[in-house]
Amino acid sequence: MSDLKSKFLDVYAVLKSELLNDPDFEFTDDSRQWVDKMLDYNVPGGKLNRGLSVIDSYSLLNDGRELTSEEIFQASALGWCIEWLQAYFLVLDDIMDNSHTRRGQPCWYKLPKVGMIAVNDGILLRNHITRILKNHFRAKPYYVDLLDLFNEVEFQTASGQMIDLITTLVGEKDLSKYSLPIHRRIVQYKTAYYSFYLPVACALLMAGDNLDKHVDVKNILIEMGIYFQVQDDYLDCFADPEVLGKIGTDIQDFKCSWLVVKALELCNEEQKKLLYENYGKDNPECIAKIKALYNDLKLEEVFLEYEKKSYEKLTSSIAAHPSKAVQAVLHSFLGKIYKRQK
């Protein structure tokens, strides 16, 4: 895997070099240095799971045979398009959320010389995706399908972000807006499409498949993405920060978390009053009261039951798929997230 990751990072260097020498724009030294630094700061810094899973999925769709260097390059290029998409979302997301840090360093817009230039950088990151696709896939029969796919998933993600923003308006903290269907809808559109469906859809297109024939695969991956986010919500509160690598802040950030939605569903009137009075306050006493309430409501057990049922439902859906290669792709995704600790 480390060998694959180093090959993947080599492709990043190639794509970046092409973008910094794009013939459709006359770069000055300053502008080239700016984009160079901006890309290095925002694109390759994460775990790269989404990007790497395009290569992984494409290999499994080809029954695990050894891929040619050209296939590895193309699957990597598509993987990087997803990482670029993620960078574009996160750069703008951090501004909207007024966040301070991302991946253990200051958010891009928080750097002294950046500020609101980050908005334009976000737009540039989005435009880089279509440049990469044009440079490497224009001659492919599935080129238009790739463009459609990225456009569609971007639309779904931005729409999910909108629901999240208008539901969690900081100025008017209103827990009555939070419910399981709203949580599900935010997660489905904001996270599941681009994190779970998009990498597999890229691999399917590369393998010559028609996405319209794989609606069942999309549905399974969306369910997986929702399960993944529920895990995230659970870990934010219950995981050891040392293992998780960060201190959870969903309670004080007034997040529409699965835990608070479940708490609202299960609590009595007195507990509901406690929730309304303390949720979303950046005060250690208020946070402790919410955590104590979560324990009283046995949310850890509720989550473990949810996890068990989700896993059973997903494995039976995967087993029902007619293609063994597609089953392998789906099992690979599920295996990476089931019972994860971080």
Mean pLDDT of 127-135: 98
Q: Per-residue pLDDT tens for 147-195?
A: 999 999 999 999 999 999 888 876 678 899 999 999 999 999 999 999 9
pLDDT confidence band for 309 (50 / 70 / 90):
very high
User: Which residue has tokens 């435009």?
Assistant: 127
pLDDT of residue 341: 76
Mean pLDDT of 50-60: 96
Mean pLDDT of 314-330: 96
Mean pLDDT of 309-331: 96
pLDDT of residue 342: 77
Phi/psi of residue 102, each to 5°? -150, 125
pLDDT at 331 over 70: yes
Mean pLDDT of 31-59: 96
pLDDT of residue 1: 59
CA gap 94, 113 in Å, rounded: 16
Residues in the chain: 342
Which pair of tokens denotes residue 163? 């629901």
CA gap 213, 341 in Å, rounded: 35
| Phi/psi-derived region of residue 245, left when phi > 0, alpha when psi is between -120 and 50, beta in every other case | left
pLDDT of residue 170: 60
CA gap 171, 134 in Å, rounded: 43
pLDDT at 135 over 80: yes
- What are the angstrom distances between the C-alpha of 236 and each of 52, 133, 250, 309? 25, 36, 7, 21
User: Which residue has tokens 């040619």?
Assistant: 68
Domains along the chain?
1-143 (1.10.600.10), 165-337 (1.10.600.10)
Q: Per-residue pLDDT tens for 246-304?
A: 778 899 889 999 999 999 999 999 999 999 999 999 999 999 999 999 999 999 999 99
Which pair of tokens denotes residue 7? 């090959």
